[in-house]
Structure 1
Amino acid sequence: MDLQSKRLILKETDWDDLTIIHALHCEPQVEQFNTLGIPGNPEVTRAVIAGPIEDRNKRIRTLYEWTVRLEESSQVIGVAGISLGAERFRSAEIHYSLFPEFWGNGYAYEALFCIMKFCFKTLGLHRIYAGVAVENSRSIKLLEKLGMQREGRGREVLPIRGEWMDNYRYAILENEF
Structure 2
Amino acid sequence: MSKTYETERLIIKLVDIDDAEFMMQLVNTEKWLKNIGDRNIHSLEDAQKYIREKNLPNIERLGYGNCVIILKSNNAKIGTVGLYDREGIDGVDIGFAFLEEYEGKGYAYESAKKVMDIGINDFGIKKVSAITLPENFSSIKLIEKLGLKFKEVVRIPNDDVDLNLYELNL
**Which category describes the TM-score, using the shorter chain as reference length?**
0.7 to 0.9
Conservation of the 8 A alpha-carbon contact between 2:70 and 2:78: yes
Conservation of the 8 A alpha-carbon contact between 1:10 and 1:66: yes
1:61-76 matches, cutoff 5 A: 61=62, 63-76=64-77
Read off the aligned partner of 2:163 and give its amino acid letter: N
Shift of 1:30: 2.9
Conservation of the 8 A alpha-carbon contact between 2:20 and 2:48: yes
Q: Which runs of 5+ in 1 are unaligned?
A: none
Alignment match, 2:10 = 8
Conservation of the 8 A alpha-carbon contact between 1:30 and 1:99: no
After TM superposition, the score normalised by the length of structure 2 is 0.85
1:172 counterpart = 2:168: yes
After TM superposition, the score normalised by the length of structure 1 is 0.82
Question: What SS does structure 2 have at the residue aligned with 1:48?
Answer: helix
Alignment match, 2:135 = 135
Alignment match, 1:100 = 100
Distance across 2 between alignment mates of 1:84 and 1:42 = 25
Q: CA RMSD in A?
A: 2.4
Question: What SS does structure 1 have at the residue aligned with 2:67?
Answer: strand
- Kindly indicate which of the two structures has a greater share of residues assigned to strand: 1
Residues 112-160 of structure 1: CA distance to partner in whole angstroms, max 9, x if unpaired?
A: 100110011111110011110111111011101111100101269785x
Q: Which runs of 5+ in 2 are unaligned?
A: none
Read off the aligned partner of 2:153 and give its amino acid letter: R
Seq. identity, %: 23
Equivalenced residues, count: 165
